[in-house]
Amino acid sequence: MKIVGLCASPRAQGNTRRLLQRFMQTCETLGATTEIHSTTQYRVDFCRACEQCMRQGTCPIQDDYLTMLPKILEADALVLATPNYAFDVSAQFKAVMDRSHAFLYYSQALKGKYGVGLCVAGHWAMTRKIAAWCGQAVWLCGGNYVGYAWGVSKVRDKKGFVNEKKVYAQADRLAKKLIKEIQTKKQHPIQAWLRETFLVSKLRKSFLRRRAEYPWTAEQFEK
């Protein structure tokens, strides 16, 4: 049972990392193997919308994205963690998601995997929504959304959380839930129905119609 965490804070040892570490430690005590990757370790440039990934399944940008991708794909579960920046995910998080548009979303590459979102902020506003959205990104890419946890930094950019005990208790509960879902291979039929009905069926139709222009993506929808 391998759980991979992605920390998308530019502060490699910030509070986003601390919350992610706490979550992963709890997962380890429950028998999981964990691995944390930080966006500070990788150079991931912005998507240029050239659509080469959609046409050929390759990316022309010479950076570390394609080194990061297999680490995401080998996980049973993903823990996506971001700080709240301008009431949204960090630019680092968004850069990874944009570059994954064909490799994870159109190819529904996270099928059968589980996803959790974490968000750390200076204020509660929007923070829960961002945390949930990070986990739901896994759902978008074919996986099962398990839940989210969040915290507010005690003093902006200093170590520690407001109500730290409560924040960690919430992270621990979520870690237990995640491990149980992986162990029991819990299915989420409503999530699957929503994804198929409102997203995938429409994408499939559209790309199969445009097979000549986007052969790689069309092939993904035929698998």
Ligand X SMILES: Cc1cc2nc3c(=O)[nH]c(=O)nc-3n(C[C@H](O)[C@H](O)[C@H](O)COP(=O)(O)O)c2cc1C
Helix H or strand E encompassing 120: strand 114-121
Residue 46 touches ligand X, criterion: CB under 6 A: no
> What is the DSSP code (8-state) at residue 40?
G
Nearest by Cα to 149 from 176, 185, 110, 182 = 176
Nearest CA-CA partner of 173 in 199, 196, 147: 147
Q: Which stretch binds ligand X (CB under 6 A): 67-75, 110-118, 153-161, 181-189?
A: 153-161
Residue placing its CB nearer to ligand X in the complex, 86 or 190: 86
Rg of the chain, C-alpha, whole Å: 17
Q: Which stretch binds ligand X (CB under 6 A): 57-65, 78-86, 163-171, 194-202?
A: 78-86
Figure out which of the listed residues 3, 4, 5, 9 binds ligand X, where binding follows CB under 6 A: 9
CB of 25 to ligand X, least distance (A): 17
Long-range CB pairs of 212-219, under 8 A, 24+ apart, other chains included: 213/55, 214/51, 214/54, 214/55, 215/55, 215/56, 216/53, 216/54, 216/55, 216/56, 216/57, 216/102, 217/54, 217/55, 217/102, 217/106, 217/107
Q: What is the per-residue binding string for ligand X in 83-122, x denoting contact by CB under 6 A?
A: xxxxx--------------------------------xxx
CB of 134 to ligand X, least distance (A): 13
State which of residues 3, 5, 6, 15 lies at the interface with ligand X (CB under 6 A). Answer: 15
Instruction: Tell me which DSSP letter residue 103 carries.
Output: I
Nearer Cβ to ligand X, position 107 or 153? 153
Q: Does 167 bind ligand X (CB under 6 A)?
A: no
Q: Where do we find the tokens 């995910």?
A: 89
Q: Which residue is nearest to ligand X (CB)?
A: 14
User: 53: how many CB neighbours lie within 10 A of its CB?
Assistant: 22
Residue with tokens 């399944």: 57
For ligand X, which stretch binds (CB under 6 A), given 32-40, 94-102, 136-144, 149-157?
149-157
Residue number with CB closer to ligand X (9 or 107): 9
Give the residue, chosen from 16, 38, 39, 108, that forms a contact with ligand X under the rule CB under 6 A: 16
**Is 12 a binder of ligand X (CB under 6 A)?**
no
Q: Helices 15-29 and 164-183: crossing angle, nearest 10°?
A: 50
Under the rule (CB under 6 A), what is the footprint of ligand X?
9, 11, 14-16, 83-87, 120-123, 153, 156-157
